[in-house]
Amino acid sequence: MPRAPNAHGVCAANATKLTMSSEELAFLSVAEQGRLIRDRKVSPVELVQTCLDRIERYDGVLRAYITVCAEQALASARQVEREIAGGDYKGPLHGIPYGVKDQLCTRGIRTTVGSKIMADYVPDFDAAVVTRMNAAGAILIGKENLHEFGKGGTNVFFHGQPRNPWNPARNAGSSSSGSGIAPAAGLCSGSLGEDTGGSVRGPASANGVVGLRPTFGRVSRYGGVMHGWTADTIGPITRTVEDNAVFLSAIAGHDARDHLTSKRAVPDYTGALSGDLKGVKLAVVHEMAWADGVHPEVRTAFERALLVLKELGAQISDLSLPWTKHAIPLNMLTSDADVASMFVPLLRTRWKDFDVGTRTRLATAALVPAAVYSRAMRARAVVRAQILAAFERCDALISPTHLSPPALIEDAREKVESRVDVAQRLILRRITTHPYGTANVPALALPMGFTQNGLPLSLQIAARPFAEQTVYRVGHAYERATSWHRQHPDLERSLQPLLRASATAEGYRRWN
């Protein structure tokens, strides 16, 4: 069940390292951790070591990480400590430990993309987002687990099954699973994931944290092993909306090495966090909120969220976007074909080294005729136009991020053997997220409550292109009016049986 951290003013002016436990320190927001580091009340070495200790204790079960950069992270933390002591403070991310999905290249650190095929690949360069996070003074603590090659549908994870920290029998979300687990479990302060049709928002939803899919072109994809050229985005996963805005401020902006990045100026995202929603027009998308198959506890939580937003001054209406249901097959067909086009040689030579879910999906996509692909791309434009037209009537669109709580791991596997499987395993779980990937607009997932069994539920807010300030404004106001973001998983309770099993089996990081 959820547990709130001790609220005794650890971020107040008179706070010291002695007034909080390591668990309290781990679950502070980035904004709070940053202020304590800036004021030299918490050492970045202490914060990094706290995360490393938690990784050692819990990650043999959770499997959030593929590679942990312990020595490098501690060396960086000691350097940061010297810089701040010398008056060289770089800003709110200086000294903050972060992780990245293991499809983002890191100089001298292996980038496996979750695959046996890439298990030994060590790039000699950093992805643009890693360069920018490091320039802001953040400390890379590790590379996070994912579905193979960043595609959903992996059945057997080469680096171990990612598990939900609220209940390890439950799914931890889609492709960026490790990037959602890590901040939720206090194994880092925030992560960078990748979202094509929901792979940032899905893990954020399943793990009870905040995840943003930014506007396509807002963040450079240089150095990411990403082949869904027309939909892939890199976005932050954090414990609060403010932290998410801080991360985006660091990684957003034009990059000449990625010709699809926008030259628009990066606004002050944290400046949009006013808490005021008076006059803001929100619209509930019927097909994404009240569709057949919505879980009753999701419906109840969403109805309560609407009441909170109304109390904050938002004007809420309903609208229908009938074409959004087509976004799922259109987005999967086109993005899968994009990815498959890069892997045909490997499919021929390393067929048995792919997970069966990955190779089945890619081999199928490799057979899509060019004429079908072209028609699907034109149809995507029609879906996108309908979504963009909705923003002429409102400032943001809202819905649950997912229509069901996190499923049991076995039930979440995408084994399609019937029409019912297509509806439940492919369509229903994507109906709320894929439309915004198809439209390439920003969408934010944030905590919306819990089921009676303590599983996280999530609210989604989407806005017009480059309106990240709007989704942050709405999300932050809702977050401030609720307490969901202050609740964290009790890992000693939820993981205890598996921790005992791990200790008596093959040891740390071998339990699967």
Q: Is the pLDDT of residue 261 over 90?
A: yes
pTM greater than 0.85 (yes/no): yes
Residue 374 designated active-site: no
Q: State the catalytic residue, choosing from 43, 76, 101, 502.
A: 101
3-class DSSP state for residue 241?
A: helix
Query: CB burial class (10 A; 0-12, 13-18, 19+) of residue 184?
Result: buried
The arithmetic mean of pLDDT across residues 474-491, rounded, is: 97
Annotated catalytic residue 199: yes
Question: What pLDDT, on the 0 to 100 scale, is given for residue 13?
Answer: 36
Average pLDDT, the chain: 91
pLDDT greater than 80 at residue 427: no
Mean pLDDT of 406-415: 82
Greater model confidence, 422 or 205: 205
Q: What pLDDT, in 10s, does the model give residues 113-167? A: 999 999 999 999 999 999 999 999 999 999 999 999 988 789 899 999 999 999 9
Write down the catalytic residue from 43, 179, 191, 199: 199
Q: Where are the domains of the chain?
A: 39-504
Q: Which residues are CB-contacts of 324 (< 8 A; sequence separation ≥ 6)?
A: 285, 287, 288, 383, 386, 387, 431, 435
- Among 201, 224, 130, 233, smallest CA distance to 466 is for 233
pLDDT digits (tens, 9 = 90+) for 27-41: 999 999 999 999 999
Q: What is the CATH number of domain 39-504?
A: 3.90.1300.10
Chain CA centroid to CA 222, Å: 19
Q: What confidence category does residue 511 fall into, taking pLDDT thresholds of 50, 70 and 90?
A: very low
Tokens 């905040």, located at residue: 210
User: Out of 29, 115, 174, 175, which one is annotated catalytic?
Assistant: 175
Report the pLDDT value the prediction gives residue 504, as an integer from 0 to 100. 54
How far is residue 452's CA from residue 446's CA, in Å, rounded to a whole number?
A: 18
Q: What is the pLDDT of residues 264-298, one digit of tens each?
A: 999 999 998 988 899 999 999 999 998 778 999 99
Q: What is the tens place of the pLDDT at every residue in 163-183?
A: 999 999 999 998 999 999 999
Active site residue 90: no
In this prediction, residue 500 carries a pLDDT of: 78
Return the C-alpha torsion angle 148, 149, 152, 153, nearest 10: -40
What phi, psi does 194 have (nearest 5°)? -135, 135
What is the percent of the chain with per-residue pLDDT over 70, rounded to a whole number?
92
